[in-house]
Structure 1
Amino acid sequence: MKAIIYQKYGSPENLTLQEVNRPEPKADEVLVKVLAASLNQADGYMLSGTPFPLRFSAGLFRPKNQILGADISGVIERVGKEVKQFQVGDEVFGDLSGSGFGGFAEYAVAKETTVAKKPKSLTFEEAAAMPMASVTALQGLRDLGQIKKGDEVLINGASGGVGSFAVQIAKAFGANVTAVCSRRNVELAKSLGADEVIDYAVRDFTKEGKKFDLILDGPVNHALNQIEAVLKDGGRYVAFGFSMATLLLGPWKSFRTGKKFANLIAKVKQADLESVATLADKGKISPYIQQNFMLDEVPQAMNLLKNGKISGKLSIII
């Protein structure tokens, strides 16, 4: 099969298209004929081997798993003997980040619990753009954010992969959503359902006096004291872009103020894949794909991810 391989950490120039052996599913795995994949920041971290601590699991000096790609959609071609939920021919989508990646290839293996039935209303390209970003948004809003109907919610980084889903999911929960993004993405944020859109180059949401029940933050470009000032009593702040300040000071601030400050570390959960699939089939959420690439164009896509500010997602057609 054809796959995009990297044998050493570094830049997208290390990615090459090669012929490799097709993987074989274990007893609790399925073999998926991959029809589409998408890029996430996690792929960039794995490619570069940074931050350095990730190498303790990914490979200290060189990558243990040489095929990137977490988000996939496709058709099941084989099932392991212990697999109960799926059969050959099922259309699925899923997140391989917890089991070695491997999506930038014609075939990939996935644990039964990391895939779900593809939303019927979406194409394979659209479905592949969903898993990691939409589940991250869902877990940030619902689990850590404890979102409820009528909440005033601010999404900082509303036009990115996670943020674009977060706006839609927050609206599906019945929240009033303020989106923060760049000027070029104002119309996109409005189209996603945001009630108000702030161009961060013109306005600073921490200086306008409005307070929020929940802030979901990707850029993490404000001090925690500024965030605290615009949270309502009992408000929640969830950083889905890693924040050392939230990690170190969040527990103390949560205890002292009665407001909640937390870093989100999303986890692959089949139930959450099923939840976002249901939202998609109900017309509540849909991915925004900035650009499609072919499998041999993954290096170009990775360069764009590395160097540009992406609106929504980048999709790989296989």
Structure 2
Amino acid sequence: MKALVYETAHDLADFALERTEVPEPTLRDQDVLVEVRAIGVNPGEAFIRRIRSAEPGGRVLLGWEFAGVVIAVGEHVRRFTVGERVFGTGDTTRDGSWAERLAVDHRILAKIPQQLSFVDAASLPIGALTASEALFRDQDTLPAGITRVLVLGGAGAVGSLATQLLKTRTSALVISTASREASRQWCSQMGADLVLDHTGDVPAQLNAAGIPHVDMVLSTAASADHLSWIPDILRPFGYLSVVDGVSSLDVGALAAKSLSLHTEMVFSRIVHGADPEAQGQTLESVAEHVAAGRLRPITTRRLDGLTAETMRTAHELVESGRTIGKIVIAT
């Protein structure tokens, strides 16, 4: 089959992906084989492309957000049958979805609602799973006492889905941050009750809005500057969820208010075998919300064709830091 692969970690200036022939995926007992129809593009994949090289004589095949059609099932699979449309993520220890076909554990997939295209389905899994696991307990419940949530970086994929899920599942006041007019408008469309500018003085903006503190911060776009004021706006015994891999964090500032810290990496369940079924259940819930019109896909840019050229274009957009919603490639 054809796939986009590379051998050596590289920057955009030395973009080295090529479309080439690779072996067919090996199907495990818990796997389904999916014919890939659409791929969501993620900043994390661009990051890995810059730092991960292949083993000698090998190649790297990335891609962990997709929608497609089941064309074979493993011996232990009962939830899916050949011909069904599915969407989901993958496993960072295995070949990814930048290929014509993908073998993936069926427990982290869900069926695509009839109303949803492959392209729009591929816009949802990473953002929805990351937001759900970072925010909720038992999929639908916020920690006790949370009535105000600040989503830092509300226009990205995780922020967009977090806002929607909060408005769908809870009565919390949702505050998003964005730095440009287009991204502020997008946050409002996602359902944010208030949108602040994270390049300005966020604590002052909150105070001006009559909000002295929030109960939870979901950080999808933290920097050292952001981290310095996040403890100031959280109430004592509040919650900070971090999904963006910050390199340093002053735990002392959190301890002064007895703040709870949650770090989130969406692949932890499948990589470590920690209840991966929960992710399939979350995606099933997302599919139900989409079918009922309570949640909308976040595709803002569609590219066509699984080629090195389209993937480079997608990564140029992602690395610009100005992406709103999700870029999806229809294969």
TM-score class normalised by the smaller sequence: 0.7 to 0.9
After superposition, the Cα gap between the structure-2 partners of 1:160 and 1:288, relative to the gap in structure 1 and judged at 3 Å, is same
CA contact 1:28–1:111 (8 Å) conserved in 2 = yes
- Taking the TM superposition and a 5 Å limit, the aligned residue runs for 1:1-318 are 1-12=1-12, 13-49=15-51, 66-143=60-137, 146-147=142-143, 151-172=147-168, 173-183=170-180, 184-201=182-199, 203-208=200-205, 209=207, 210=211, 211-221=213-223, 222=225, 224-246=227-249, 249-250=250-251, 252-266=252-266, 267-268=268-269, 269-294=279-304, 295-296=306-307, 297-318=310-331
Is 1:160–1:311's contact at 8 Å kept on the other side of the alignment?
yes
Task: Tell me the secondary structure at the aligned position of residue 109 of structure 1.
Answer: strand
Distance 1:102 1:30, change over 3 A: same
- Tell me the matched-pair count: 306
Give the fraction of aligned pairs with identical amino acids, expressed as a percent: 27
Structure 2 counterpart of 1:137, one-letter code: A
CA offsets 1:82-141 (integer angstroms, 9 cap, x no match): 212211111111101345242111111111212121233321111111111111011111
Alignment partners' CA distance in 2, 1:94 and 1:212: 32
Describe the shift of the 1:305–1:278 C-alpha distance in structure 2 as closer, same or farther (beyond 3 A).
Answer: same
Give 1:52's aligned residue.
none
C-alpha distance 301-197 of structure 1, shift in aligned 2 (>3 A): same
Q: Which moved more, 1:84-93 or 1:280-289?
A: 280-289
Following the alignment from structure 1 to structure 2, what is the Cα–Cα distance between the partners of residues 260 and 62? Answer: 43
Q: Distance in 2 between matches of 1:151 and 1:116?
A: 30
Q: Which amino acid aligns with 2:234?
A: L
Q: Runs of at least 4 residues of structure 1 off by over 4 A?
A: 61-65, 147-150, 252-255
Single out whichever of 267-276 and 155-164 deviates more from structure 2: 267-276
Gaps of 5+ in 1: 50-54
Contact 1:234 1:258 in 2 (8 A): yes
The CA deviation at 1:148 is: 6.3
State the one-letter code of the partner of 2:203. T
CA contact (8 A) 1:9 1:63 kept: no
What CA RMSD, in Å, does the superposition of the two structures yield over aligned residues? 2.4
Q: TM-score, normalised by structure 1?
A: 0.88
DSSP 3-state at the match of 1:34: strand
Q: Distance in 1 between matches of 2:160 and 2:226?
A: 23
Tell whether the 8 Å contact from 2:124 to 2:298 is kept in structure 1 after alignment. Answer: no
Tell me which amino acid in the other structure corresponds to 2:179. S
1:181 Cα deviation (Å)?
Answer: 0.5
* 1:235 match: secondary structure: strand
Shift of 1:254: 4.8
- Partners of 1:306 and 1:279 lie apart in 2 by 30
Letter in 2 for 1:215: V
1:21-58 CA-partner distances (Å, limit 9, x unpaired): 33231222111011111111221122112xxxxx5xx7
Q: Using the TM superposition, give the Cα deviation of residue 190 of structure 1 relative to its aligned residue in structure 2, in angstroms.
A: 0.9
Further displaced range: 303-312 or 222-231: 222-231
State which drifts further: 290-299 or 94-103: 94-103
The amino acid that maps onto 1:2 is K
